[in-house]
Amino acid sequence: MIEIAIFAFAAFLLLILTFWKRKSPAVLRELPALARLQRAIGVSVEDGSRLHVSLGQGGLLNAQGGSALAGLAALRIISERTSVSDKPPVASAGDPLLGLLTQDTLQAGYHAAGVDELYAPTSGRITGLGPFGFAAGAMPITANENISANLLLGHFGVEAGLLTEAAERESVQLIGASDNLAGQSILFASAQDALIGEELFAAGAYIGAGPSHTASLTVQDLLRLIVILALLGGAFLKFAGMI
């Protein structure tokens, strides 16, 4: 019951703040990794190279669903902005449902740009099932398809080390984030630009996915503040002997 109440409260905040953000421009703190992503999107269009967006091997119907949706939101904007490039982006996933959604998301980006005829279903791929099967299938994309930047957004475990090694071997820029502690530690140590913690869910807002994504960052901050106040209040009441 408590979980439902928290979810309803967060949804109400998100709805209110989304309408407010439509009228008020967002002011976001600088994240170097996402600033580099913005530049990488522009460079890929100018020099005719590709972006590789990998969403990991987490599913949508479990605890990893949030990171997968964050990756899809970023993919949607990237596909729209680079759809007219000579070499549009390619997406990889290690889950069947997520792989199908990468194709649908890419197609939506092409449709928004008004170039439906340029969409190729093969640009969204299921590269393998299981952590290492997925990584083994995604590694050749970096080497063989003129990739200028790899964006890893989703659920990655220790198999992220294979993807970072493939990017380093080809001198390809790597920007990464994972909801898994092991994957996050590997990306932090290996990637030129790593997103930490909830910064994974900020990618959409920073590249212009819409006011709802910007509002979600404010909701995160408000919920975090409420938790901190609750902890401090509980500690004070315990210290005062009231509980």
Q: Is residue 230 part of a domain?
A: no
Q: Is residue 5 part of a domain?
A: no
pLDDT tens-digit readout, 54-85? 998 877 777 777 788 888 888 888 888 887 77
Does the pLDDT at position 145 exceed 80? yes
When pLDDT is averaged across residues 135-154 and rounded to a whole number, the result is 87
Q: Is residue 225 part of a domain?
A: no
- Supply the mean pLDDT for the chain: 81
Q: How confident is the model at residue 113 (pLDDT cuts 50, 70, 90)?
A: confident
Note the pTM of the prediction, 2 decimals: 0.79
Give the whole-angstrom CA distance, residue 174 versus residue 168. 8
Does the pLDDT at position 233 exceed 70? yes
Q: Is residue 9 part of a domain?
A: no
Amino acid 92: pLDDT: 92
Q: Of 2-16, 34-48, 111-125, which has the strongest mean pLDDT?
A: 111-125
**Helical ranges in 94-241 per DSSP H:** 96-113, 131-144, 160-169, 181-190, 203-206, 211-239
Does the pLDDT at position 3 exceed 70? no
Q: Is residue 226 part of a domain?
A: no
Domain range for 102 is 30-209
Instruction: At 177, list the tokens.
Output: 């984030």
Backbone angles phi, psi at 170, to 5 degrees: -95, 5
Domain CATH code at residue 188: 3.40.50
Number of domains in the chain: 1
Amino acid 27: pLDDT: 66
